[in-house]
Amino acid sequence: MMSVPGSIPWLFRHELRLLWFNAAASSKPGKAARRPGTAGLATIAVVWLALHALAWYAVRLIAGIGMADPRIMVGVSALLFGLMTFMLSSALKSSVMVLFERGDLDLLLSSPLPSRSIFTVRLATVAVGTAAPYLFFLGPFAHMGAVLGHLGWLALYPVLLGTATIIACAAMLLTLGLVRTIGARRTRVIAQIIGALAGAMIFILSQLFSHFASRMEAQAMAAFARAFASDGPLGVDSPLWLPGRALLGEPLPVLGIAALALAAFTFTAGRTHRFFVHGLQQAASSSRAARRPAGGVRYRFGRGLVATVLFKEWRLILRDPHLISQVALQLIYLLPLFFVIFQRGELRLTALGAGLTLLCSSLTASLAWIVVSAEDAPDLLRLSPSPQRTIRFAKLGAAVLPPLALVLIPLAWLLVREPLAGLVTVLCVTGAVCTAALIVHWCGRPGSRSDFQTRGKSDVLTTILEMLNSLAWGGLAWALSALVAGASDKLIVATWIAAAAVLVVLALSWFLRRPQP
């Protein structure tokens, strides 16, 4: 049945089609959004059938434990709480995209369509796009549960849709609130960083829990036993497990989530669409030129060529919210290492040296790709009268210096605490970041900054060399740190193997380098 042109169903159908096309095109870097082909649809179907086979085995295993077991309800609730953090991350990114980055809202708002209808459809699109991946991967478990007699598991569909709607409304309100508070331009950066933090929160919490639980294992286990007792705050009858009860098909919790989702959607769509238009006007006006400075324009030529290139590259990165959020996601994984460094007990030198080396190498490779391969004006730099060698050196320095600055404090602490181990870690981290930048400089294929997330698919060779470089240096840092603690024949052999791997990867990158213009 065809929808009436200009109506909410008509516009929503168009948004869903764009969502489907964009999802299909995201797996092909450089490709425009279009209808997925036969091969893509066949791949999706095969994966979905394989998930049903896996779900059949898992549901039969759970049924053997017993559906009345409190562990099932607690585990399902914990799963949903974990999914909420990832939903918030994707919803924030989708909100920024539909509000600021699609570039079609000026056309829609100048059309006869009511702004309330436009905002309602955009909000619904964010909610559906947030829920879709989880429905795809978890839907087979609901289907197999229904086949095996657990019809209540089909409540997964309204529960996930309702949860995604609540999260989408919260993300949209947060985005619009940030626009009102700090402006549209800064909102793009903050929303992307919050989304990255939300997506990595599960990892951080798990690492912190494992860190403290290893030091206070007995106290932690006793506290959990008291909390999960039948009369404890986290007992079976605790309201905290209502989401798990809803996923398992209990009617009242399902209705509660559905009612809350409907109320949140109605409130967000009905009460904020005017502010939505105001936020868009702010976004449009944020691109205007800044005011003329008092006293006229002042030109500063005090910096040299290297400093000019360094600050130019760093300023361009800071102005791009996508790059900030995606690079910041790698920095988040450095946080648990700080707890390892500053704990009062014995330092885990092998894990610390290898971890810092791997993370710094990965971060340098990402920054080097942004600075070198994704240069916006390579022809302009080549035609400049400045020495090309100096420009290349400065650009590689722009990729190498930030990771070294980030680990400066933990490395200094380690040098004071364990001088020999600290010196080994400093050498490995420095070597890893320098070789990572060189590999991108030698083998990197030119690209666009918008392709940062999919750069591995468009330049497989460089990605493989970067990974091998990180693993080789990480292995060398682990072996050398272990040698500091105590020498053995096996560790000496491992050290020589890791050092040889570093040299082989570097030599292979040199022989496979691309001709420099």
In a domain, 291, yes or no: no
**What gap in Å lies between CA 80 and CA 103, rounded to an integer?**
34
pLDDT surpasses 80 at 434 = yes
Domain encompassing residue 144: 13-31+42-285
315 and 167 together in one domain: no
DSSP 238-295: -GGGHHHHHHTT-HHHHHHHHHHHHHHHHHHHHHSHHHHHHHHHHHHHTTSPPPPPTT
**Strongest mean pLDDT among 197-201, 216-220, 264-268, 344-348:** 264-268
- Average pLDDT on 140-164 reads 87
Q: Per the domain annotation, does 54 fall within a domain?
A: yes
Q: Are residues 98 and 238 in the same domain?
A: yes
Residue type, 440: V
pLDDT at 258 over 60: yes
Residue 21 lies in a domain: yes
| Residue from 275, 264, 270, 266 nearest 175 by CA | 275
- Distance separating alpha carbons of residues 415 and 336, to the nearest angstrom: 19
2 lies in some domain: no
Q: What is d(CA 474, CA 69) in angstroms, rounded to the nearest whole number?
A: 43
Same domain for 83 and 125: yes
Q: Which residue has the higher pLDDT, 394 or 296?
A: 394
DSSP H stretches of helix in 333-459: 335-341, 349-368, 378-383, 388-406, 408-417, 419-443, 455-458
336 & 264 share domain: no
- Of all residues in the chain, the percent with pLDDT exceeding 90 is 15
Q: How confident is the model at residue 75, as a pLDDT?
A: 73
Residue 78 pLDDT exceeds 80 = no
Same domain, 240 and 323: no
Residue 504: partners with Cβ closer than 8 Å, 6 or more residues away: 472
pLDDT tens digits, one per residue of 439-496: 999 988 888 776 776 676 667 888 889 989 999 998 899 888 888 777 677 788 888 9
Mean pLDDT for the stretch of residues 111-133: 86
- Using the predicted structure, report yes or no on whether residue 344 has a pLDDT greater than 50: no
Categorize the per-residue pLDDT at 28 as very low, low, confident or very high, splitting at 50, 70 and 90. very low
Do 430 and 462 fall into the same domain? yes
The region, left, alpha or beta by phi > 0 then psi within -120 to 50, assigned to residue 30 is: left
Lowest-pLDDT range of 40-44, 200-204, 422-426: 200-204
What pLDDT, on a 0 to 100 scale, did the predictor assign at position 84?
86
Q: Is the pLDDT at 435 greater than 50, yes or no?
A: yes
- For tokens 């947060």, the residue is 174
Which region among 61-75, 343-357, 410-424 has the lowest average model confidence (pLDDT)?
61-75
Domain boundary among 230, 256, 285: 285
Q: Are residues 259 and 127 in the same domain?
A: yes
* Residues 204 and 318 placed together within one structural domain of the fold: no
Tell whether 91 and 132 lie within a shared domain.
yes
- In a domain? residue 334: yes
Residue 64 lies in a domain: yes
Q: Among 380, 389, 391, 357, which residue's Cα sits nearest to residue 472? A: 357
Q: What is the mean pLDDT of residues 138-165?
A: 88
Cα distance between residue 324 and residue 366, in whole Å: 11
What local confidence, expressed as pLDDT, does residue 118 receive? 82
Structural domain contains residue 299: no
Mean pLDDT of 70-82: 75
Residue 435 tokens read as 């070789």
Residue 309 predicted with pLDDT over 90? no
Q: What is the pLDDT of residues 371-413, one digit of tens each?
A: 888 888 888 888 888 888 888 899 999 999 999 998 898 888 8
* Residues 253, 75: Cα–Cα separation, whole Å: 17
Number of domains present in the structure of the chain? 2
Q: How confident is the model at residue 127 (pLDDT cuts 50, 70, 90)?
A: very high
Examine residue 517 and state whether it is found in any structural domain, yes or no: no
Q: How confident is the model at residue 264 (pLDDT cuts 50, 70, 90)?
A: very high
What CA–CA distance (Å, rounded) separates 226 from 90?
A: 36
What pLDDT is stored for residue 346 in this prediction?
46
Q: Are residues 147 and 237 in the same domain?
A: yes
Same-domain pairing of 257 and 374: no
Do 347 and 418 meet the contact criterion of CB atoms below 8 Å apart?
Answer: yes
pLDDT 10s digits, 171-219: 888 888 877 777 666 766 676 667 666 656 665 665 555 555 555 555 5
- Does one domain contain both 370 and 420? yes
Query: What pLDDT is attached to residue 429?
Result: 93
Least confident of 106-115, 282-291, 360-369, 391-400: 282-291
Q: Among 256, 285, 314, which residue terminates a domain? A: 285
With both helix axes pointing from N to C terminus, report the angle between 184-215 and 70-96 in degrees, rounded to the nearest 10.
Answer: 150
DSSP letter (8 states) at residue 516: P
The pLDDT value recorded for residue 29 is 40
